[in-house]
A and B are shown apart, each in its own frame.
Chain A
Amino acid sequence: MKYFKLSVAFLASLVLFSCNREAIEGEVEAQAAPIVRLGDEIVGDALAVKFASVPTASEISEIEAQKGVTLQRVFPSTPGKEELEARFGLDRWYEATIEDGSSVEKVAHTLSKVRSVQLVQLESIARKEYDGTVYPESSSDTRATAATFNDPMLINQWNYKNGGSASISKTSMAGADVNVSDVWANLTCGDPSIIVAVVDEGVKHSHPDLQANMWVNSKEVPGNGVDDDGNGYIDDVYGYNFVDNGPITWAIVNAAGDGDSGHGTHCAGTIAAVNNNGKGVCGVAGGSGAGDGCRIMSCQVFSGIRGGSASAGSRAIKYAADMGASIISCSFGYTSAFQSDDAYIRAVGSMEIDAVHYFEACRNNDVLDGNIAIFAAGNEAHDYAHYPGAFYDIISVSAFGPDGLPAYYTNYGPGCNISAPGGEAYHSSGNFKSMILSTLPSELYELGESSGSKGLDYGYMQGTSMACPHVSGVVALALSYAKQLGKKFTRDEFKRMILSSVNDIDQRIGSKTSKTYAYGHKDLPLAPYYHQMGTGMIDAWRLMMKIEGTPCLTATTGKSQYIDISSVFGTASVSLTYLEVQVPQATIDALGLQKITGTASGKYVPVPEGECYAYVQFGRLYIHPTKTGSGKIYVDAVGGGDHLGGGSNPPGGMKLEQVVSLVAREVDGGNGTGGWL
């Protein structure tokens, strides 16, 4: 395909109407169908058409003969999914390939006059939501002894466990991460039945840190040139290349050096790079090293300097739905400033949204009655999210840096639903650790012949493109854990759980005037971001607790404190008799609990003699965490009376065994403490 760059002014006229509309037979004239278009780049030799009803073969033939186009269904039909395809109109979308050399605008006007045509969509080009900056990583740091896994670069993945190290960034804040390490250690590392489709550049499926977690279409024989499984796609073993209609590629670069960047491979690594394999990096849902990672499906919609068309993206999304993906991770979007969902539909058309809604209606796991789509919010520091992620029922992800504050590039405001680590270049050149470290195709990044180094498999990027796969990975982990527990939820219920499993970002934003960014030389005013970063910073542990049904409370690091547990034991918690407080060693370690000494008082005496890691008194849980982390504490109380009944005891109460989950975080202001001053 080729692309025409047209004037922005002309292209800003989003909806074009022609005066008359003709039946294909030519008897009836009617209003022309709308023509929608967007941006300064469109596909130049094809366009999409949505029919008002499923066209007959003779209608198709007649249009093709009269209009100089070849019509082909955008979405191949999948046996057993016909009803669903019809419900979302996927059976009415056709791609019209121009055969006679006419301009795409002329053909669009011609087709718009066909009576059975409901909509003509000029295919806009979406963009990857990152800034194009890539820093390959050649070093293999010695792993931290306390790390959950043995992957040598995990120590530089602050996005999973941010200890506030100055080696990452002078302003890094402990706990500004997705809080996944305690999930790995105690709950789940993934499940191979949960598949995440990376709708992006092709994923390097032979990457040493990805290969074991790649989804494999076992019904397809690799490289035999045959559509073995009959799904309409030849040799789709690890996914499919929807740009070139062929094998997945990831390292196409032209003579000018433009082309693939490793964007898809990077996003895939964040979702599910293989954990605990002694190599490179970790992925959020990359398993424990025992083959239990979530799987990555590569749905390639960018290839070299090409790709990003609405039809390729839409086909890719339907493919993901039909081939078993539970999540699509879409780090792309349109930069135009749409003011509403309707404006977006008028400009871009509904093909992608139809495909996303189809995807979310499909059921590909044992947990949900549907699937989850996740998009990047965009990188222009706009005060609104880019579409398609901005659509009201699609999750869109903004980005924060290792300082737990909005990244300087992130979009924020309306349409942005939640935030995740996106990285942020901060230090002077030579230190990129404040960005996101993940997998890269070694074919693209080499140190040069003089160094004698081989290609580099890892590197740093930044963007909401990098934030998006964090949420995708956390959702994949959550589906894995829910499956492990045998829990079931509706899709919409699960979305609400995702968006409410967050740590607060606004107190930190609100307590600081500005932040330093861009290599330490610029000042970013923070006022515009207050309450505009979605619901907050995604927290994997909190989402797992929601799945369990375990109440999750927040503690503050660095001080002795009490936490009100009335939300766990009810309003009578103040006067209950507490029998025992158990603190597992894993919790002591995760939160760095310091020993404290209580003072026994009255009959409500769970306070042990001497020092302990936690006690309850008057409905308050007393603890002293010294570091950010997550864990559980088990509290037993008596429900009804001041002692347990049963046996030879006088009538007494019932034992109330409750689990209290804690997430310890710094309540942080701009100076790294949280204090106002």
Chain B
Amino acid sequence: MMFKRFLIIAVAALALAGCKGHREEPSKAIDVTGEWELTSITTRGASIGGTPIAVYINFTAEKTFELYQMIGEGRYTYFKGTYQLSGESLSGTYESGKPWGSVYTVAMEGDQMTLTTNGGSETDTYRKTTIPQAVKDNIY
């Protein structure tokens, strides 16, 4: 009898767990909104060598983005535009009307986001951050 009660509880627990899993599925949809800082790159690392690179991106809920980048020394270059996210596929257009250099495949893990170029030749990793005011003030 004791065994039977245990079995019922166990089945119920599994069922609950299953229900919880179903309810959480929509929250697994990729959401890139927020402010991000580039933390590592592949491929381009070889070409950059010892040159410092700093990239910050703000993806807004309104599907716009702001980009602050500094390659080498100096000030940040500022860009903005719009982006589209379809499933794992992230694309965008600069304010000038030119598209991004690639469509990216997005993967999220915790507070990390990886963007892999179309064709997989390069993967850049970002982490959630707050873009420092010093960056925003130090632009061309």
Give the interface of A toward B (CB within 8 A).
Answer: 506-507, 509-514, 526-531, 556, 558-559, 561, 563, 667, 669-677
Taking a contact as CB atoms under 8 Å apart, the answer to whether A527 and B100 are in contact is: no
CA distance A531 to B44 in the complex (A): 14
Q: Indicate if B96 sits at the interface (CB-CB under 8 A).
A: yes
Q: For residue A557, give the distance in angstroms from its CB to the closest CB of chain B.
A: 9
CA distance A391 to B61 in the complex (A): 57
Taking a contact as CB atoms under 8 Å apart, the answer to whether A510 and B71 are in contact is: yes
With contacts A513-B122, A556-B140 known, is A527 near B55, CB below 8 A? no
Q: Indicate if B27 sits at the interface (CB-CB under 8 A).
A: no
- 23 A-B pairs with CB atoms under 8 Å apart are A506-B72, A510-B51, A510-B71, A511-B44, A511-B71, A512-B44, A513-B43, A513-B122, A527-B43, A527-B44, A527-B47, A530-B48, A558-B96, A667-B77, A671-B99, A672-B98, A674-B77, A675-B69, A675-B81, A675-B101, A676-B38, A677-B100, A677-B115
* B 14-47 to A, binary, CB cutoff 8 A, 1 in contact else 0: 0000000000000000000000001000011011
Q: For residue B42, give the distance in angstroms from its CB to the closest CB of chain A.
A: 10
Q: Indicate if B57 sits at the interface (CB-CB under 8 A).
A: yes
CA distance A409 to B47 in the complex (A): 19
Taking a contact as CB atoms under 8 Å apart, the answer to whether B79 and A673 are in contact is: yes
Taking a contact as CB atoms under 8 Å apart, the answer to whether B94 and A673 are in contact is: yes
Q: Nearest A residue to B104 by beta-carbon distance?
A: A677
* B 50-61 to A, binary, CB cutoff 8 A, 1 in contact else 0: 010001010000
Q: Nearest B residue to A512 by beta-carbon distance?
A: B101
CB contact between B96 and one of A510, A527, A563, A673 (< 8 Å): that residue: A673
Q: Find chain B residues with CB under 8 A from A669 CB.
A: 101
Known interface pairs A531-B49, A558-B96, A671-B101; 16 further A-B residue pairs with C-beta atoms within 8 A, sorted by A's residue number: A510-B51, A513-B43, A513-B121, A513-B122, A527-B47, A529-B47, A556-B140, A563-B140, A673-B96, A675-B69, A676-B67, A677-B65, A677-B100, A677-B101, A677-B104, A677-B115
Q: Indicate if B125 sits at the interface (CB-CB under 8 A).
A: no
With contacts A556-B77, A677-B67 known, is A530 near B101, CB below 8 A? no
CA distance A531 to B96 in the complex (A): 28
* B 86-130 to A, binary, CB cutoff 8 A, 1 in contact else 0: 000000101110111110100000000001010001100000000
CA distance A672 to B98 in the complex (A): 7
Taking a contact as CB atoms under 8 Å apart, the answer to whether A670 and B101 are in contact is: yes
Q: Find chain B residues with CB under 8 A from A559 CB.
A: 78
Taking a contact as CB atoms under 8 Å apart, the answer to whether A675 and B79 are in contact is: yes
Q: Find chain A residues with CB under 8 A from B71 CB.
A: 507, 510-511
Taking a contact as CB atoms under 8 Å apart, the answer to whether B99 and A675 are in contact is: no
Q: Find chain A residues with CB under 8 A from B78 CB.
A: 559
CA distance A510 to B41 in the complex (A): 12
Q: For residue A336, give the distance in angstroms from its CB to the closest CB of chain B.
A: 28
CB contact between A676 and one of B51, B55, B99 (< 8 Å): that residue: B55
Q: For residue B36, give the distance in angstroms from its CB to the closest CB of chain A.
A: 11
CB contact between B92 and one of A507, A531, A561, A677 (< 8 Å): that residue: A677
Q: Find chain B residues with CB under 8 A from A563 CB.
A: 140
Q: Which applies to chain A's interface (DSSP): helix, strand, loop or mixed?
A: loop
Q: For residue A563, give the distance in angstroms from its CB to the closest CB of chain B.
A: 8
Taking a contact as CB atoms under 8 Å apart, the answer to whether A530 and B92 are in contact is: no
**Minimum-distance CB pairs A-B, first 7:** A527-B47, A671-B101, A677-B100, A675-B79, A530-B47, A527-B46, A673-B94
CA distance A670 to B118 in the complex (A): 14
Q: Find chain B residues with CB under 8 A from A511 CB.
A: 44, 71
Q: Find chain A residues with CB under 8 A from B44 CB.
A: 510-513, 527
Q: Nearest B residue to A514 by beta-carbon distance?
A: B121
Taking a contact as CB atoms under 8 Å apart, the answer to whether B117 and A513 are in contact is: yes
CB contact between B79 and one of A509, A510, A672, A674 (< 8 Å): that residue: A674
Q: Which of A507, A672, A674, A675 has the most CB of B within 10 A?
A: A675
Q: For residue B62, give the distance in angstroms from its CB to the closest CB of chain A.
A: 17
Q: Find chain B residues with CB under 8 A from A513 CB.
A: 43-44, 47, 117, 121-122
Q: For residue B35, give the distance in angstroms from its CB to the closest CB of chain A.
A: 15
CA distance A513 to B104 in the complex (A): 14
Taking a contact as CB atoms under 8 Å apart, the answer to whether B55 and A673 are in contact is: no
CA distance A675 to B98 in the complex (A): 10
Q: Nearest A residue to B57 by beta-carbon distance?
A: A677
Q: Nearest A residue to B68 by beta-carbon distance?
A: A676
Q: Find chain A residues with CB under 8 A from B100 CB.
A: 671, 675, 677
CA distance A677 to B104 in the complex (A): 9
CA distance A667 to B67 in the complex (A): 14
Q: Find chain B residues with CB under 8 A from A509 CB.
A: 47
Q: For residue B79, give the distance in angstroms from its CB to the closest CB of chain A.
A: 4
Q: Nearest A residue to B124 by beta-carbon distance?
A: A676
Q: Nearest A residue to B69 by beta-carbon distance?
A: A676
Q: Which of B46, B47, B79 has the most CB of A within 10 A?
A: B47
CA distance A527 to B122 in the complex (A): 13
Q: Find chain A residues with CB under 8 A from B67 CB.
A: 675-677
CA distance A559 to B67 in the complex (A): 14
Q: Which of B67, B95, B122, B140 has the most CB of A within 10 A?
A: B140
Q: Nearest A residue to B91 by beta-carbon distance?
A: A677
CA distance A507 to B71 in the complex (A): 7
Q: Find chain A residues with CB under 8 A from B96 CB.
A: 558, 673
Q: Nearest A residue to B90 by beta-carbon distance?
A: A677
CA distance A531 to B65 in the complex (A): 30
Q: Find chain A residues with CB under 8 A from B99 CB.
A: 671
Q: Nearest A residue to B83 by beta-carbon distance?
A: A677
CA distance A526 to B51 in the complex (A): 15
Q: For residue A504, give the distance in angstroms from its CB to the closest CB of chain B.
A: 9
Q: Find chain A residues with CB under 8 A from B104 CB.
A: 677
Q: For residue B94, give the distance in angstroms from its CB to the closest CB of chain A.
A: 5
Q: Find chain A residues with CB under 8 A from B72 CB.
A: 506-507, 510
Q: Which of A528, A670, A674 has the most CB of B within 10 A?
A: A674
Q: For residue B99, give the distance in angstroms from its CB to the closest CB of chain A.
A: 7
Q: Nearest B residue to A555 by beta-carbon distance?
A: B140
Q: Nearest B residue to A507 by beta-carbon distance?
A: B71
Q: Nearest A residue to B43 by beta-carbon distance?
A: A513
